[in-house]
């Protein structure tokens, strides 16, 4: 029996369940909206990977669409970190962080036939696509900047709520960075197997980040009753 993509389906279902609950219960403030968008994109990518690997829709358009989806995750993550750490309005200045994702989406639109799903496994998928190294650099750079911003922010902030949110986001950002470190280590040793599947593997690790984002949304939502268990727990230590 072919189990390729089954883990993607499982993760997609859980992320969609998280998304539904957050849309129903949480306050729609700026931080929460960004977090919800990220969870929605993660669920959409996992769904796409399942469709490609299990259903068999492997035309070049589907890998292209998957890359457009995940291309907006790193700038959203950076925007989330910036919004938390600096409390800035979403002005044109910070909209510039989306330019690389938009540029890649437009460029890739003209070279869609070059997108190839090279292999599928139970856990991840591998791709061949144009400008892979450049896309990877622009993909991980916002994550790295987010980590730096959060590390600098945590010791300085006095607000307990923001400090805890920052710690949770920092844990999630560092956790999804493990495949990158492993991939580059193996690449220098001459093994490119992880690099070709980097985006897929990072999105699998990002399931934990989706849980972190869900926690942030719940903790960052005021309730008039006892439903916000996390806020009660951490405010009454």
CATH code of the domain containing 23: 1.20.1070
pLDDT, tens digit, 9 for 90 and up, residues 42-52:
999 999 999 99
Report yes or no on 1 lying in a domain: no
Report yes or no on 175 lying in a domain: yes
Among 25, 8, 12, 5, which Cα is nearest to 224's? 25
pLDDT, tens digit, 9 for 90 and up, residues 118-168:
888 888 888 888 888 788 888 888 899 999 999 999 999 988 889 999 999
Q: Give the residue-averaged pLDDT of 33-60.
A: 91
Buried b (16+ CB within 10 A) or exposed e, 118-152: eebeeebbbbebeeeeebbebbbebbebbbebbee
pLDDT, tens digit, 9 for 90 and up, residues 180-215:
787 777 667 666 666 667 778 888 889 999 999 999
Report yes or no on 142 lying in a domain: yes
Report yes or no on 70 lying in a domain: yes
| Structure letter (DSSP) for residue 26 | S
Report yes or no on 139 lying in a domain: yes
pTM comes to 0.89
**Separation between Cα atoms, residue 47 and residue 54, nearest integer Å:** 10
Per-residue pLDDT band at 102 (split at 50, 70, 90): very high
- What is the number of domains present in the chain? 1
Report yes or no on 110 lying in a domain: yes
Domain span including residue 122: 6-235
């Amino acid at each position: 029996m072919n189990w390729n993509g089954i883990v993607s389906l499982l993760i997609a279902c859980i992320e969609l369940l998280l998304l539904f609950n957050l849309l129903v219960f949480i306050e729609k403030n700026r931080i929460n909206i960004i977090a919800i968008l990220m969870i929605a994109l993660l669920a959409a990518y996992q769904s796409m990977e399942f469709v490609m690997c299990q259903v068999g829709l492997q035309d070049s358009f589907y890998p292209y669409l998957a890359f457009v989806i995940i291309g907006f995750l790193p700038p959203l993550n950076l925007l989330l970190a910036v919004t938390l750490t600096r409390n800035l309005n979403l002005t044109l200045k910070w909209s510039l962080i989306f330019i690389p994702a938009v540029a890649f989406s437009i460029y890739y639109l003209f070279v869609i036939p070059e997108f190839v799903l090279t292999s599928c496994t139970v856990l991840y998928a591998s791709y061949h696509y144009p400008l892979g190294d450049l896309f990877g650099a622009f993909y991980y750079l916002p994550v790295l900047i987010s980590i730096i911003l959060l590390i600098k922010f945590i010791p300085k902030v006095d607000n307990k709520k923001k400090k805890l949110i920052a710690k949770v986001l920092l844990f999630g950002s560092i956790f999804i960075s493990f495949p990158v470190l492993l991939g580059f280590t193996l690449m220098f040793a001459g093994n490119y197997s992880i690099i070709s599947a980097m985006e897929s593997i990072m999105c699998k690790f990002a399931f934990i980040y989706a849980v972190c984002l869900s926690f942030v949304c719940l903790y960052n939502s005021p309730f008039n009753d006892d439903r916000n268990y996390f806020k009660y727990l951490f405010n009454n230590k």
